[in-house]
Each structure stands twice: as C-alpha cells, then as structure tokens.
Amino acid sequence: MEITAALVKELRERSGAGMMECKKALTELNGDIDGAMEHLRKTGLAKADKKSDRVAAEGRIVTAQDGGNAVLVEVNSETDFVAKDENFLGFADAVAQAALKSGATDAEALKAAPLGNGTVDEARQALVAKVGENVQVRRVARVSGDNVGAYIHGGRIGVLVNLKGGTPDLAKGIAMHVAAMNPPHNKASDVPADFLAKEKEIELAKMTDKDRAKPADILEKIISGKMAKIVNDVTLYGQPYALDTDKTVEAVLKSAGAEVVSFSRLAVGEGIEKVVEDYAAEVMKQAGLA
C-alpha cells in the first residue's frame, strides 16, 4: 500500500509523534493506521520507560479553576528548554483541566484520569517520545470554597487560597503574598509545639550571662518577645502583607471581615535533588586530560 503524505499527516495528528516515526510505522504495518497507532503507543511507552529514571526537576506549575473549585498541578521535565516547548505547555494545561474534571487529589490518581483518547499517563508517554526527555506529573493540590484565589508566578510558583469572606481581589492578593513569602503555616495555632520548644532552646542558648542574671519575670518577657517574632515570621497571619507592608496579613483580613481557611503552594522542582553537570571536566576526561 502506498504511504501517502495525507496518511502520514493523519497519524501525526492522532499520535503526536514525529513525521519520520509515523512514516516508518505505517510502512512496517503496510498502511494500517490503527495498527501503526498502536505500534507508536507501544514504542512510546518503551522510550518513556528508558527515560523514567532521569532527573526531571524543571517544568511548570499550572492551574485550572471552575468557580470555587481549583487545582494546581506540577508537571516536570529535564530541562527548562522543554518546559517552554508548546507541546509540553499544551500537555500541562490539558493535565490541569483533567485534574479539575476528574477530582483527582494525587498524582497517581491523576495519571489514570481520562485525557483525549486515553489517559493522562498515556498522553505523557506520547509526549516523552516526542520531546525526548523524561516528563512526569508529580504533584496535585486542590482547594474548594466560596472564595478561592489562584496565582501563578512565571509558571514556576503556584498558589491556591481558600478565603472565607472578603473579595476575589483579596483572595488573589493573599495568594500573591504566599507566592512571595512562602509562609510554612497559616496561624500561630498551626505552629508545631516541638518547633517552638527547639526555637526557645536556641534563644536561651544565645543569651548572655548578663541576660540570664535578670529577674525571672523580665527574662520571660524577653523570651516571649523573641518567640512572638519567630511565630510571626513563620505564619501567614503574622507576616507583613506583601501588598501593604505597613499592615500584617491578619490586620488586612480582619478589616475585610475575612479568614484564610487554607492555602497550597507549589514550586517547580522543590525537594528534587538536581544533578549538576561539570561539562568541562567531562570533556577533559573524554580527552584523557583528567
């Protein structure tokens, strides 16, 4: 059977694979486009498996929202070059929509969610075959509420905020603050007791003999003041509001009659150990100079 340009084009559109891969598959399957499609999916899976152990610490954080329901998804690639590729970006946006529609709350559930003519993971495997890099759907964050704010900074940091009361603009402003300041906790009551105990121990150890010689009530006031500052530094409510640093986030929320119920923040590659390549040393080694 003659392998026409139109047949190759149709297979390319269906599979997302390269022109030469499509032509080769059609030739091997004697023009059977369904068989060629299955062949490409199988070889795509094999390629994806070979690349799955390679570190993917670049990528994008994407969001999808429908009223009070919103998701963040982290999709990783090996290089920032691929993270800017239109195929990668289109896949990431489609995955975010799939996460929103499916209700998936973790990456494993999301991989099995429907996308196109298959699943998210099957689409991922096809993308790996196309871009030649390991691509992973790593994390999902989901927030639902009456006033949900979403903010993406440069495609690398994403935040969702669930606000009770207030306005959509305030919810987005708080999300921008969380993106910039990355508070570990929401309110003072959320700070773990063991963290506070360790910080108090450290502050006591830093005190001079002169400070320790002060009356117990004065010493307690000094320590309490230091601990209050530490709590403010690690809580959203205690931090100066990034959009109006004369006020704390707590003061801004109080004046608006609002409360932060919860927030989620994802940053590309956080927690992944990146491999640092020394290309000069590698070249010298290959040349026998090192």
- Cβ neighbors of 95 (< 8 A, separation 6 or more) are 62, 73, 75, 110, 115, 120, 123, 137
Checking if the pLDDT of 46 tops 80, the result is: no
Q: What is the pLDDT of residue 289?
A: 58
Calculate the CA 157 to chain-centre distance: 7
Residues 58-68, mean pLDDT to the nearest whole number: 95
Reported confidence tier of residue 237, pLDDT bands at 50, 70, 90: very high
- With b meaning 16 or more CB within 10 Å and e meaning fewer, what string describes 183-201? bebbeeeebeeeeeeebee
Reported confidence tier of residue 9, pLDDT bands at 50, 70, 90: confident
Residue 264 in domain: no
CB 226 within 8 A of CB 203: yes
Reported confidence tier of residue 203, pLDDT bands at 50, 70, 90: confident
Residue 83 in domain: yes
- Segment 92-146, tens digit of pLDDT: 999 999 999 999 999 999 999 999 989 999 999 889 888 888 899 999 999 999 9
Token pair in block for residue 72: 């963040």
Residue 88 in domain: yes
Strand partners, 157: 153, 267
Residue 121 in domain: yes
Considering the domain architecture, whether residues 67 and 177 belong to the same structural domain is answered as yes
Considering the domain architecture, whether residues 82 and 104 belong to the same structural domain is answered as yes
Token pair in block for residue 144: 């639902």
Residue 231 in domain: yes
Q: What is the pLDDT of residue 49?
A: 46
Considering the domain architecture, whether residues 163 and 215 belong to the same structural domain is answered as no
Considering the domain architecture, whether residues 170 and 237 belong to the same structural domain is answered as no
Considering the domain architecture, whether residues 62 and 170 belong to the same structural domain is answered as yes
Residues 6-15, mean pLDDT to the nearest whole number: 78
Range of the domain at 23: 5-51
Considering the domain architecture, whether residues 43 and 62 belong to the same structural domain is answered as no
**CATH number of the CATH domain containing 101:** 3.30.479.20
Alpha helices, DSSP H, located in the chain: 5-15, 19-28, 33-51, 80-83, 86-102, 107-111, 120-131, 168-181, 193-206, 209-212, 216-233, 249-255, 279-286
Residues 191-201, mean pLDDT to the nearest whole number: 93
The total domain count for the chain is 3
Output the pTM of the full model: 0.75
More reliable by pLDDT, 39 or 263: 263
